[in-house]
Structure formats: structure tokens, C-alpha cells
């Protein structure tokens, strides 16, 4: 386990990190040691002895990461990682553990999106650093997802005409050109444009374009 100085440093580094660390390993002693380590720096941890038990358990909505043994009885760690990818395009970050140091396995895991790969026995500090980085990454992912959801709600709240106006604005058309294209008065375009920009909470065309691109909306001029 960590010595006093290392534990104090680790606790300080993880103090502002929130989230749940899920540990999946079929070795009870490893599970217990990892949970104790994570609790020692005030991180919440839940342990499972199999991939199946992990998949069946309810998960929270906040930041999380998965500390996963490559070689498990039943479904392997690599198979679990692939299952998570099929269920979620951006699943929680995965930190792999292995006692075998299999290079091919490491490459396969990293290609599938694992953020770290620790060979047993690993230093406590290495695990703490990996977990803290993983939770920070997942917090950023969730924040981005939340922003995208809010953005989508704002876009859906626009009228069809407001959406059409903004799509033309994002395509680089001037108010006069949009008016001619939509067969409406230029002053009407200005009104729709102003109202729609306020609803989308954007002030500049550059901000609008970033929003529309993030939403995957086609704004090319036709």
C-alpha cells in the first residue's frame, strides 16, 4: 500500500475528483486491495468478480471509469470492452490490468479505446494517477454531452422558418440573399435571425456555425 507521504500526495491530487471507479477482477485479493486503495483517497469504488456481474449492476449518471482485468473467468476483459463499445459510442474510460504483459493484447485494448494498461504488480501511485486522469476525462465527456443535449433542445425549440434562416446564415448567405431564396422580405429575415440567435444563445455567426456543426446539421448552400 501507499506510504504516508505518497498517500497524502495522492489524496491531495484526487480531492477535487468525483465519480465512481468500477473494478472488475476475478481475484478477490486484488479487488479488495484496489477498493481499499481508492477509498483511502476518498474515491467511491464498486467491485465485481466477473464481466457479467458488472454488466448486470445499475450504474450512476456521474463520472466513472472501469479498472478491468484482461483475463477473467467467463467473458474476458477485452470482450467486455467491446461489449461496452457496442452499447455506447463513448463509454466510460477503461484502465486495463494484466499479469501477463501481452503486447498484442495491449495493442488490441488501446485500439479499442483503453486509456491505460498497467502490468501487475503495479505501483499504487500509477493506479491512482490513471484513475484520476480517467475520471477527469469522463467528467469532460459528460459535460460535453450535456452541452450538446441543451444545444439540441434549443434547436428543436426553433420554428421551421427560424431553422431555415439560421441554416442559410451558417451557409454564409447575406440577409438579402436569404430573403430572395425564401421569398420573404429582408426585414422578416432580420427578425427571424435575431429571434433565433437569441434562442440558440449565440451572438456571432462563428458561434452559430460551431453549434450547427456539433449538431450534425447540413448547412451547405444549395
Residue-range definition of the domain harbouring residue 91: 4-143
Asked if residue 118 and residue 193 are part of one domain, the reply reads no
Asked if residue 174 and residue 139 are part of one domain, the reply reads no
pTM of the complete model = 0.69
For the chain, the domain total comes to 2
What proportion of the chain, given as a percentage, has pLDDT over 70?
89
CATH number of the structural domain spanning residue 187:
1.10.10.10
Q: Checking DSSP bridges between strand 44-48 and strand 20-24, what pairing results, if any?
A: parallel
What proportion of the chain, given as a percentage, has pLDDT over 90?
58
Q: Over 50: is that where the pLDDT of 5 sits?
A: no
CB 135, CB 63: distance < 8 Å: yes
Asked if residue 130 and residue 27 are part of one domain, the reply reads yes
Boundary (domain end) residue, out of 143, 164, 186:
143
Q: Over 80: is that where the pLDDT of 102 sits?
A: no
CATH number of the structural domain spanning residue 38:
3.40.50.2300
CB 30, CB 7: distance < 8 Å: no
Q: Over 50: is that where the pLDDT of 118 sits?
A: yes
Asked if residue 138 and residue 68 are part of one domain, the reply reads yes
Residue 44 corresponds to which cell in the numbers above?
467511491
For residue 113, what pLDDT band results from cuts at 50, 70 and 90? confident
Q: E strands, the chain, where?
A: 20-24, 44-48, 64-69, 94-98, 116-119
* Average pLDDT for 82-86: 86
19: left (phi over 0), alpha (psi -120 to 50) or beta: left
Asked if residue 174 and residue 83 are part of one domain, the reply reads no
Look-up of cell digits 499479469: 99
In a domain, 66, yes or no: yes
Asked if residue 69 and residue 157 are part of one domain, the reply reads no
Asked if residue 105 and residue 56 are part of one domain, the reply reads yes
For residue 38, what pLDDT band results from cuts at 50, 70 and 90? very high
In a domain, 222, yes or no: no
Boundary (domain end) residue, out of 143, 176, 205:
143
Asked if residue 159 and residue 66 are part of one domain, the reply reads no
* Average pLDDT for 184-210: 94
* HEC letters along 44-94: EEEEECCHHHHHHCCCCCCCEEEEEECCCCCCCHHHHHHHHHHHCCCCCCE
Asked if residue 35 and residue 130 are part of one domain, the reply reads yes
Look-up of cell digits 506510504: 3
CB 83, CB 55: distance < 8 Å: yes
| Interatomic CA distance for residues 124 and 121, integer angstroms | 9
Q: Over 80: is that where the pLDDT of 27 sits?
A: yes
Q: Over 50: is that where the pLDDT of 3 sits?
A: no
Amino acid at each position: 500500500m501507499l506510504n504516508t507521504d505518497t498517500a497524502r500526495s495522492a489524496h491531495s491530487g484526487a480531492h477535487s475528483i468525483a465519480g465512481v471507479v468500477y473494478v472488475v477482477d476475478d481475484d478477490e485479493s486484488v479487488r479488495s486491495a484496489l477498493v481499499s486503495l481508492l477509498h483511502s483517497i476518498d474515491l467511491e469504488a464498486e467491485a465485481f468478480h466477473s464481466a457479467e456481474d458488472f454488466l448486470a449492476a445499475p450504474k450512476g449518471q456521474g463520472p466513472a471509469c472501469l479498472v478491468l482485468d484482461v483475463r477473467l473467468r467467463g467473458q474476458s476483459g477485452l470482450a467486455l470492452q467491446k461489449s461496452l463499445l457496442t452499447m455506447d459510442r463513448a463509454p466510460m474510460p477503461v484502465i486495463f490490468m494484466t499479469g501477463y504483459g501481452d503486447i498484442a493484447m495491449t495493442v488490441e485494448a488501446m485500439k479499442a479505446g483503453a486509456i491505460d494498461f498497467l502490468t501487475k504488480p503495479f505501483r499504487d501511485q500509477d493506479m491512482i494517477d490513471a484513475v484520476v486522469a480517467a475520471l477527469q476525462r469522463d467528467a469532460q465527456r459528460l459535460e460535453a454531452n450535456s452541452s450538446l443535449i441543451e444545444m439540441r433542445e434549443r434547436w428543436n425549440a426553433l420554428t421551421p422558418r427560424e431553422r431555415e434562416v439560421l441554416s442559410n446564415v451558417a451557409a454564409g448567405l447575406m440577409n438579402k440573399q436569404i430573403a430572395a431564396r425564401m421569398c420573404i422580405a429582408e426585414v422578416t429575415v432580420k427578425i427571424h435571425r435575431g429571434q433565433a440567435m437569441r434562442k440558440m444563445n449565440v451572438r456571432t455567426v462563428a458561434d452559430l456555425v460551431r453549434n450547427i456543426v456539433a449538431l450534425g446539421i447540413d448547412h451547405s448552400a444549395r
